[in-house]
Structure 1
Amino acid sequence: MPAQLTLAVDLMGGDLGPRSTLPAALNFAQANPELAIILVGEASTAPSSLPDNVHFVVSTQVVSMSDKPAYALRNKQDSSMWKAIDLVARGEAQACISAGNTGALMAMGKYLLKTFPGIDRPAICKAVPTAKGASYVLDLGANVDCTSEQLVQFALMGSVLAETAGVSSPSVGLLNIGSEDIKGNEQIRLASALLESNDHLNYVGYIEGDGIFTGAADVVVCDGFVGNVALKVSEGVARLLASYLRELLEGGFWNRLVGQIARPLLLKWHTKFDPARYNGASFLGLQGVVVKSHGSVDAKGFECALAVAKEQAAGDIPNKINHQIADCLH
């Protein structure tokens, strides 16, 4: 690993583009002067002056949120997304961060960085808040259909990420429609048997959807279809609850009074469960760090994705995953 970590930032990705990504990257660079940050975007987005640890690379194309992954892969090779990933592939950066098109980011990442031997497909992994702290959930949408062997690969990669975050012998749960042995389809039951027999994993069995947020397991494994639905439902519930609380505390004198009294507790709740605080999902399995930010996130949320990328690059997550998979293959 180089003495100075370098992060490559796709400025043009996401719903807000440089309005969100640029101030976030500049703030993060100022707060982390030991880092180098390479901004990749159209020439018109380049600031007139940059800090000493920030550099700018010009791109002439943008991957839109509606671009099909195959089209972007063939036709957008001078895009900010492609160039940011390519900086990692060429060793000029140790991580890429983008709020852009998820499918295109996955396709370009897999093409430019490749996966490690023994890993069929990258998986999207994200930390979610729980009653006990946080759990790592994967896959969150990269792979709609998965084999039982691929679910085991996800478990191994998620365990490495949890261990690097300080979790000793992380517990692994398989998301299912029930906790009984007879529940689930054939693929899930076969995956459970494989997980049970794997000496490299602390497998605790099936968990149901509510177990994600009670902290039933440090790592929660599922296919991308189920994981993405679970994530979007949880985000919707969080927004609904926040909206309901605002309406409740803004109506009438007594409601406003109670709101002022409860304000410290509400702020504490918001700090713990604010989705922006957990922004930044990792494409585990690639031979380099690629972090996906939510497309509609503001500058504060994008800074959280930058922090995820910094942590994973500093922790050398890709190589640790490679070693874990290699140990299982021998």
Structure 2
Amino acid sequence: MTTDVQDLYLITLVAKQYYYENRTQDEISRSLGLSRTKIGRMLKQSRDLGLVTIRINLNPSELSDLEQELKRRFGLQRALIALDHDDENSQRRSVAQLVCDNLAEILTDGATVAVGMGRNLSEVTMHLGGPKGRDCLFVSSIGGSLRAGEGLNSDHIARRFAASFNGRSETLYAPAHVGAPHLRELLLADETVRQTLNRARRADVALIGIGDCSESSYLVKMGWFTTPEIAGARMKGTVADVSGYDFLDIDGNPSAPELQGRVIGLSHEDFRHIPNVIAVASERSKTLSLLASLRSGIINTLATSAGIVRAIIEIDEARPRRQG
């Protein structure tokens, strides 16, 4: 349902009076000549529309304990842990906000950021706020896909980051996925593609999404892989994909070699050489995927929810990693 300009103005006015001016719903009702029920409904709309974001911090002690345990187990630099939400969209927003805060803290003039694709990274750009005055370069680390849609493609995400940080963006002028390995090799030999990927490889920070390699994943929806291909990979123990490129088993070892060689972007090994790889995932279905990625050793910063972190620790405790 769309909201017209007049309704949006009124919803914003009600939210401002309630949250900023600390007026009660009864006071707002009387001043605007609206029922208290309608005022309550508008306040809910203000949250649903993203005009108001309510943030509740975890108990600092609990947050610190979870982060320290992740650092101990997986050698992380940082863990950005959000409060749990039942609603998937709310959870994604909560995690994204933490990533925004972290980027504002760590990015400096001249930094290069390799940017992946997907819903979680796209959500981060929705919470960046006004320009931050950093001359950063945001480079696409994976090609583009028509089926992904504008909002989820790496180049569009990179542009939105660049606009917020008063920086620059660089697009990887290649498709994200091709039908056969020999086509990929031909495109990787192109000078423009090679230069952009080399710049991404030299990044100071990388932002990546982690996939659950399920039959309902975006890899299937975008037509990169068929349902039987993904189902077959899962039957052989594959639980994660890193930026749609590399596949991992539960122990973090390379998996599903039959699916390799079709995506144009940074590889699993490329990420190992980037000083700070930030993995962003908010969906509970990605718990095993995140565990696999953590065990692989390529992640330096993890951004997810408290519930997922607890589950990762419990599973890692119950099933220690077996070296590949």
Give your verdict on TM over 0.5: no
Q: TM-score, normalised by structure 2?
A: 0.31
- The structure richer in strand per residue is 1
Q: TM-score, normalised by structure 1?
A: 0.31
